[in-house]
Chain A
Amino acid sequence: MPETQEALETFRIETRAWLEANCPAEMREPVRDETDACWGGRNFVFKSPAQKQWLDIMAGRGWTVPDWPKQYGGGGLTPEQTKILRQEMATLHCRAPLSSFGIWMLGPALLKFGTEEQKVHYLNQIARGEIRWCQGYSEPGSGSDLVSLATFGEDKGDHWVVNGQKIWTSYADKADWIFCLVRTDKTDKYRGISFLLFDMTTPGVSTKPILLISGSSPFCETFFDNVVVPKDQIVGELNRGWDVAKYLLGHEREMISGGGLGTDMMSIGAQFKDVAADEPVLRAEMANFDVEVMAFRAMSEKFVDEMKAGKNHPAEPNMMKYIGTELNKKRFELIMAAGGSDALEWDSEASGGGVKARSWLRTKGNSIEGGTSEIMLGVVAKRILELPGA
């Protein structure tokens, strides 16, 4: 139900006051890189007491997932209130209390496809940051052509036995649980895949890190050797996991496209004023980039508003993903150009251990993970523009 303007204004004022009183100063600094964020989970080591305090107090209000229903650990806020909370957090530079594949990807899929028991059980733990999830989609032979996946789950009555290999599994070595696509019927390419959840400590699960060009290794190869998965850990119907996977990918793409906005809202030109003043061509590129970012911000706002009202085309997240990730790559190209040799430093104290260079390299994955830019363009061409061909 839409609230009155006054009620929303009151909510805004109260929210701002609460955030000011409760968000620790350390949690109002921009997140430097992925390792600086709060990921939660059984084995997570908090970077500071403030990080834990911020997670606990936000989770206590249901504000790690403000728009989820209260019985699942959410804040029960309306879309308008959620928008206001996000705006106020941005204004005060409050960090997200929790970075989580559970929130961004699995949660929405469980809300749509999960049983009531699954929702109560998993969503509450996700909201409080108690279990950290990883995503087991890609396989060595199945990337863009995901439905060709071969990891197989054999039906053993009350459980499955899963065998196979996944690859590019981000944070598999740190995750507590995995949401995983498994073939349960070999005769139908699309309708033979199921969506399973299981604990990464289950016997037969092993991981091996893959080093990235950024020098970090959040990636793993993940192996399944006779892994036993109970039947109640399937999400959605048997052999219809593709529907769940696609729905989840929509949310994943939306999340990744958010990178186009940057974690830090400040314009690059404003951050590098002196460089901009000395280098007119670079200044012009920065100015054009500011236009692109602010335009994309308007598009993101429109996208979210329309989504809440059920107005957008189901393939639109693909477009957002494409634009947002290409923009984020551009952002870091400019940051590297503006930083010059300083930005190249890899392990000095001044560079914070090469935060800029490493982040720059990490962004190159944005247009690959969650579906490549080429795949996104193909989906838009076919599903929105309805161009002919397979």
Chain B
Amino acid sequence: MPLYHTDDQTMLRDTARSFIADAAPVKHLRQLRDTHDRTGFSRDLWKQFAEMGFTGILVPETQGGLGLGHVEASIVLEEIGRNLTPSPFLTTAVTAVEALKTSATLGAEWLPKIASGNAIVALAIEESAKHRPDRIALTAERSGNGFKLTGTKNFVINGHVADMLIVAARTAGAVGEPDGITLFAVPKDAAGLSANPVLLADSSLASHVRLDGVQVDADAVLGDVDGGWGPLTKLLDAGRVGAAAEMLGVGGAALDATVDYLKTRKQFGRLIGEFQALQHRAAHLYGEMQVARATVLKAAQLLDAEYPRAEIAVAVAKAKTGRACALAVQEGVQMHGGIGMTDEYDIGLYMKRDRALEEFFGDARFHADRVARLNGY
């Protein structure tokens, strides 16, 4: 498979690019923010995403989706990133779909609802402020024909508006061990579940979630009891590539805005883009973004091919894209000079979004460490 988009993928990109830029440009985010919207995204827009087929990209055709892959999901995510569009796409249409594919009954119930835009699903995985997927302490004890879940979760994006939460719980083993983790599909209205949304720096909403002895049936298990590490890693890897793709959009837009600014702003009687000090930094940044772009496509292709060692490519993609996009937004603000510090100007919004995506599913350091471990040191 050559490392560039096929004609069909290029067509999808063009469609997604013009649709999202029209329907949800940065203005849309500002409006939600300035009206103190407490949903965090537009349900109308989500419906339109469903009509376009976007929500069902990873859902099999038999369940109302398009049956496409991570390369296609990445294409949509990049455009979401480019426009800073608030959307449950990554959690619902990517990670949740990946998790729901492990259970025939839950999949049959939820995948068509996701494809049609009628369900929002959130991930309740993190417990600490940093991404530590093996440090799951929330417990699920056997109770009746099912389990009783007790504990708290952090950084649950869309947690307060989701119809269902995918909860990683410990059914055996000790905190820090991958064995003994189990994934549960927990309906949002389950008794004992509460979600308290907080506003983040990028104007998105994430919840602290409490589960006070939430009772679920045995068929709420996604994958195997105690064997949740496999499906958890799978859904996380899908989310990591997705987050990296969204970051590509964020960093790419920051780069474009900066290069445009260099071509229009005059100081000392010259366009600032004429100064070699800025030219070289812009060129360096461009190169870093190109490399990041290659890693995301590579990782998405390997996930789609179900390549057994895709995980190292995923870690490389999240780490490299994280670094490159951080550079893009930071250089963006710097090269815009004072105006880059103003709320009125968009570049700062890109920096904030990048910071949030960097923390989502593990930052560049987490993934560099993972690469080292996978390489045996």
Contacts and interface: CB of A to CB of B under 8 A. Distances in A.
Interface of A: 267, 269-270, 272-273, 276-277, 283-284, 286-288, 290-292, 294-296, 298-299, 301-303, 305-306, 308-309, 311, 316, 319, 322-323, 374, 376-378, 380-382, 384-389
A287 B291 contact: no
Interface residues of B, number: 45
24 contacts: A269-B372, A270-B376, A277-B377, A287-B368, A287-B371, A288-B368, A290-B371, A291-B316, A291-B319, A291-B320, A292-B320, A294-B371, A295-B317, A298-B3, A299-B294, A301-B298, A305-B2, A305-B3, A306-B4, A323-B291, A381-B279, A384-B283, A387-B262, A387-B274
Contacts of B313: 294, 298
Contacts of A267: 375-377
Nearest to B275: A389
Contacts of B368: 284, 287-288, 290-291
A389 B273 contact: yes
Interface in B260-283: 262-263, 270-271, 273-274, 276, 278-280, 282-283
A381 B258 CA distance: 13
A297 B298 CA distance: 10
Contacts of A311: 4
B4 A388 contact: no
A276 B274 contact: no
Contacts of A299: 290-291, 294-295
Contact of A302 (B4, B276, B312, B315): B4
Contacts of A295: 291-292, 294-295, 316-317, 320
A320 to B, nearest CB: 8
Contact of A290 (B273, B279, B372): B372
A306 B284 CA distance: 21
B259 interface: yes
Interface of B: 2-4, 259, 262-263, 270-271, 273-274, 276, 278-280, 282-284, 286-287, 290-295, 297-298, 312-313, 315-317, 319-320, 323, 364-365, 367-369, 371-372, 375-377
Contacts of B377: 267, 269-270, 272-273, 276-277, 283, 286
A323 B298 CA distance: 18
B7 to A, nearest CB: 11
Contacts of B273: 387-389
Nearest to A79: B2
A133 B277 CA distance: 38
Contacts of A287: 368-369, 371-372
B283 A380 contact: yes
Nearest to B274: A389
3 A-B pairs closest in CB distance: A389-B274, A381-B279, A287-B372
A269 B293 CA distance: 25
Given A294-B295, A295-B294, 16 more contacts: A267-B376, A288-B319, A290-B372, A294-B312, A294-B313, A295-B320, A301-B3, A302-B3, A305-B4, A306-B4, A319-B286, A319-B287, A322-B287, A387-B259, A387-B279, A388-B273
B294 A319 contact: no
A175 B372 CA distance: 43
A323 B282 CA distance: 14
Contact of A319 (B283, B312, B315): B283
Contacts of A286: 372, 377
Contacts of B279: 377-378, 381-382, 385, 387, 389
Nearest to B287: A319
Nearest to B256: A385
A131 B17 CA distance: 53
A377 B283 contact: yes
Nearest to A272: B377
Contacts of B271: 388-389
* Most-contacted residue by chain B among A277, A298, A382 (CB, 10 A): A298
Contacts of A382: 279
Contact of A294 (B2, B270, B316): B316
A57 B126 CA distance: 58
A319 B285 CA distance: 10
A374 to B, nearest CB: 7
Contacts of A385: 259, 279, 282-283, 286
A316 B294 CA distance: 14
* Most-contacted residue by chain B among A291, A378, A384, A385 (CB, 10 A): A291
Contacts of B371: 287, 290-291, 294
Contacts of B290: 299, 316, 319
A384 B283 CA distance: 9
Contacts of A269: 372, 375-377
A295 B297 CA distance: 11
Given A269-B375, A273-B376, A298 B276 contact: no
Contacts of B274: 387-389
